[in-house]
């Protein structure tokens, strides 16, 4: 049954320290949490410190019945200071030398990897060699049929062309936003940026760059999100575009992760590209109206 699909987010699990207080987050953890809300078997894989924050992560995941593998390591549980601009768009100050920089590969992880129907991973947790090796080994252990979603999530200086290229070679789906598309097109395709505007603001240029990435890295799909403007899904044969609905934004923390989760869940449940895209847009718009990355979805969105 589709509801038995095993879907994993592997990478950072941490606390976003927002102006309103502390909220559990980390892109792969957010992804796993939202996948779980659609009734699939979500797993969050990361590492925590031997501290109160680590205990709080475990308690929170258990409270929402989210499967997790969170080995305790010597480093402290990760935190991120989040500030919001006037439109609710976050800026991140990410602490170094934290638990999710030191995710060890365990036998339990490999057991789950071999059951995976979909895995979501990003670039941030790969800033350290330890976590990068664990993520790569986990991906390599998964069935060839599994969706491997590289939700790139470029943060500050914590990425390199080598990490991005290696991740794309292991992925079959890329999720990227408009600003990240400029960075990746320049780094990996040698595309000059368009003076004064993002590549994604020129629809023909964006389409060309996305299809070049699909061809170069043999991707099944590329998802391009353009904030308040809209989003695209490209495959070899299809293209879907949906405008972003206007909502009262509380903050946009975790909205992209909920988009990815909804899209992956609907795809695994047998929905068409457009149906999965539409649900992803609706879910992420709702998350923008809530504080923090892990709100409870209303029943009409599940």
Is the residue at 62 inside a domain? yes
Is the residue at 184 inside a domain? yes
Token pair of 269 as six digits: 């449940």
Is the residue at 135 inside a domain? yes
DSSP 65: T
* The predicted structure's pLDDT at residue 193: 67
Domains in the chain: how many in total?
1
For residue 276, what is the domain's CATH number? 3.40.1190.20
Distance CA 180, CA 206 (A): 12
Is the residue at 137 inside a domain? yes
Q: Is the pTM of this model over 0.85?
A: yes
* The predicted structure's pLDDT at residue 162: 97
Distances (CA, A) of 58 to 52, 69, 128, 158: 10, 9, 23, 26
CB 279 within 8 A of CB 259: no
Is the residue at 226 inside a domain? yes
Distance CA 89, CA 18 (A): 12
* The predicted structure's pLDDT at residue 48: 97
Is the residue at 177 inside a domain? yes
* The predicted structure's pLDDT at residue 2: 60
The position carrying tokens 């020129």 is 202
Helix, strand, coil proportions of the chain in percent (round to 5)?
40, 25, 35
Burial of 236 (0-12, 13-18, 19+ CB in 10 A): exposed
pLDDT (tens, 9 = 90+) of the chain, 302 residues, equals 567 899 999 999 999 887 777 888 899 999 999 999 999 999 999 999 999 999 999 999 999 899 999 999 999 999 988 787 777 677 778 888 999 999 999 999 999 999 999 999 999 999 999 999 999 999 999 999 999 999 999 988 999 999 999 999 999 999 999 999 999 999 999 877 666 678 888 889 999 999 999 999 999 999 999 988 999 999 999 999 999 999 988 877 788 999 999 999 999 999 999 999 999 999 999 999 997 778 888 888 88
Query: Domain of 35?
Result: 2-296
The position carrying tokens 């205990």 is 55
Is the residue at 96 inside a domain? yes
Is the residue at 34 inside a domain? yes
* The predicted structure's pLDDT at residue 239: 96
């Amino acid at each position: 049954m589709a509801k038995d699909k095993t879907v994993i987010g592997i990478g950072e699990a941490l606390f976003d320290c927002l102006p309103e207080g502390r909220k559990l987050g980390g892109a792969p953890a957010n992804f796993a949490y939202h996948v779980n809300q659609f009734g699939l078997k979500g797993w969050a894989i990361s590492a925590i410190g031997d501290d109160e924050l680590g205990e709080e992560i475990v308690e929170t995941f258990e409270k929402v019945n989210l499967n997790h593998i969170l080995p305790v390591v010597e480093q402290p549980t990760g935190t991120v200071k989040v500030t919001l601009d006037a439109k609710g768009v976050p800026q991140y100050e990410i602490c170094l030398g934290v638990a999710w920089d030191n995710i060890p590969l365990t036998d339990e992880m490999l057991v789950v990897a071999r059951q995976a129907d979909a895995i979501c991973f990003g670039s941030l947790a790969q800033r350290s060699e330890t976590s990068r090796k664990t993520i790569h080994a986990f991906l390599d252990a998964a069935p060839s049929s599994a969706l491997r979603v590289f939700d790139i999530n470029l943060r500050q200086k914590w990425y390199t062309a080598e990490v991005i290229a290696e991740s794309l070679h292991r992925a079959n789906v890329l999720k990227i936003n408009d600003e990240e598309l400029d960075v990746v097109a320049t780094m990996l395709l040698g595309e000059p940026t368009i003076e004064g505007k993002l590549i994604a603001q020129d629809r023909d240029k964006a389409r060309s760059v996305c299809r070049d990435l699909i061809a170069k890295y043999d991707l099944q799909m590329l998802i391009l999100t353009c904030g308040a403007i809209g989003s695209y899904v490209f495959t070899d044969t299809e293209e879907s575009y949906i405008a972003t609905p206007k909502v009262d934004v509380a903050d946009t923390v975790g909205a992209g992760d909920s988009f990815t989760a909804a899209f992956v869940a609907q795809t695994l449940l047998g929905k068409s590209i457009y149906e999965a895209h539409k649900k992803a847009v609706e879910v992420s718009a709702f998350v923008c109206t809530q504080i923090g990355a892990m709100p409870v979805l209303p029943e009409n969105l599940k």
